Chains A and B, each alone.
Chain A
């Protein structure tokens, strides 16, 4: 099969919508377009039924007891915001302490910072070299004033999967609520809110071949019944947790995407893992000084985060411009700071600048994997020939022995 350029290999950023999802959504734009909150006619009833069906599909995917535990939002950022701020506000008489990790998504970290300004205390747990949170750290950090622990299922940059079940066991024993930003991991690695004692979970459609602009927050309804204060006021939709007319086409697409993930996920993940390992082995065998960032064992199947020493990440991306990937290099961010996730894992700044994240997904072919392996190998070689650091490394100069002038 001929390779079509450009190749999309950035499936942690977003995924293309599966054609079957689009097909499921289409009637909801102009035929079944009713408002799910309209109680007085068939248009509204049809919309409500479809929303309810999607709720069931999503509940099944994450192992929720009831579809009533699924609240639709505009995406995972909103889900994270509602979870943290809503819980903090509701349980403020019980405590003022929240535990999270330094490698969470900005939606969690910035919500925590906001809460700190309001007087809450937040413990940011560090991670090991493999990028995982140690459950013992969670255990030690819990105090009588702790109301919530929020730890992501899988990291968006390095794909590291956290020991959610072990953390859930601890939070349940200590009677502390447990939220997990499960955006990257749902459908790709085992995740079950019942078995893992997760009380709240954020998910989004566009990371699982559904549309953008629709997400969900799982809120446990029994043992324990989780309460929170709505952060959006209005018509009292979604059991009062999230006011606003429901995005019915998006929700229908989300449901369909979840259903496909449930049915096809296991086979798909095995295939993607095979492709990921093929890419990893090809790159690490043909190039020297390539470092894998994050755990190999506890990792999303489609994630490969590598640092190609002596080559800067943005220059790399320019060299492979027909392949969409991302980098932890500062040059790719507005902040001019390299990835905070990599730095938290103890990856040196120079290697953080040299990192490339490959995100393999449902629609990547074996031919594309080989094409990318060839292109990356050639590009790294070319850029290393231009790199003073590589030349010094080859001459046996220890780059750490040089007094660099920071700028």
Chain B
């Protein structure tokens, strides 16, 4: 099967490979897929207090299309608000990368990774919020920004 030029470009020059501190309260981590299925994506976002995604990183175990899908996703995420990021759909990735039908699942996984990272971030934020509002007398240690 021949790959599209965009897949090859992302595969050969992957954007934003790396790791963010998963314990950072502003970082959301999504880990989706399974080794037995041949695809695992880890996508991370760091969100500013204004709700803008400042940074995005990924690491992917998977075929070239899976790597390209996650690389593209990080590129798209940067600079978007969390709400905007939530509107990214796998079909947009399919279109941008010209993925053939057999590789559509790679784009689905990338969308899942985005959603999962956002959920993780929101969970962390609401946990912090709950702590702050439910126990105002307690001294809350908020990590330095």
Contacts and interface: CB of A to CB of B under 8 A. Distances in A.
A349 interface: yes
Given A385-B17, A388-B41, A407-B105, A312 B34 contact: no
Contacts of A314: 63-64
Contacts of A349: 35-38
Given A311-B61, A312-B39, A407 B33 contact: yes
Contacts of B108: 407
A232 interface: no
A194 B44 CA distance: 64
Interface stretch (A183-191, A326-334, A356-364): A326-334
Contacts of B42: 388
Contacts of A310: 61
Nearest to B103: A331
A312 B61 contact: yes
Interface stretch (A44-52, A294-302, A398-406): A398-406
Interface residues of B, number: 31
Interface string B26-56: 0000011111111111100000000000000
Given A386-B59, A388-B60, A350 B36 contact: yes
Interface string A304-319: 0000001111110010
A10 to B, nearest CB: 16
A312 B38 contact: yes
Q: Is the interface on chain A under 10, 10 to 19, 20 to 34, or 35 or more residues? A: 20 to 34
Which of A318, A385, A389, A399 is packed against the most chain B CB atoms within 10 Å? Answer: A318
Q: Which of B8, B17, B38 has the most CB of A within 10 A?
A: B38
Interface in A336-376: 336, 338, 348-350, 353
Contacts of B37: 330, 349, 353, 404, 406-407
Contact of B67 (A313, A353, A386): A386
Majority SS at the chain B contact face: mixed
A286 interface: no
Contacts of B105: 407
Contacts of A353: 35-38
B91 interface: no
Contacts of B33: 404-405, 407
B38 A407 contact: no
B63 A331 contact: yes
B72 to A, nearest CB: 14
B102 A389 contact: no
A340 to B, nearest CB: 15
A388 B61 contact: yes
A350 B34 CA distance: 9
A315 B63 contact: yes
A338 B64 CA distance: 16
Nearest to A329: B38
Interface string B13-34: 0100101000000000001111
A387 interface: yes
Contact of B34 (A336, A391, A407): A407
A315 B59 contact: no
A221 to B, nearest CB: 46
Nearest to B106: A331
Contacts of B36: 348-350, 353, 404, 406
14 contacts: A312-B63, A313-B38, A315-B63, A318-B11, A318-B63, A350-B38, A353-B38, A387-B59, A388-B42, A389-B40, A391-B19, A399-B35, A404-B35, A404-B36
Closest 10 CB pairs of A and B: A404-B34, A350-B35, A349-B36, A353-B38, A314-B63, A388-B42, A388-B59, A331-B63, A318-B64, A387-B61
Interface of B: 3, 8, 11, 14, 17, 19, 31-42, 59-64, 66-67, 102, 105, 108-109, 112
Interface of A: 310-315, 318, 329-331, 334, 336, 338, 348-350, 353, 385-391, 399, 404-407
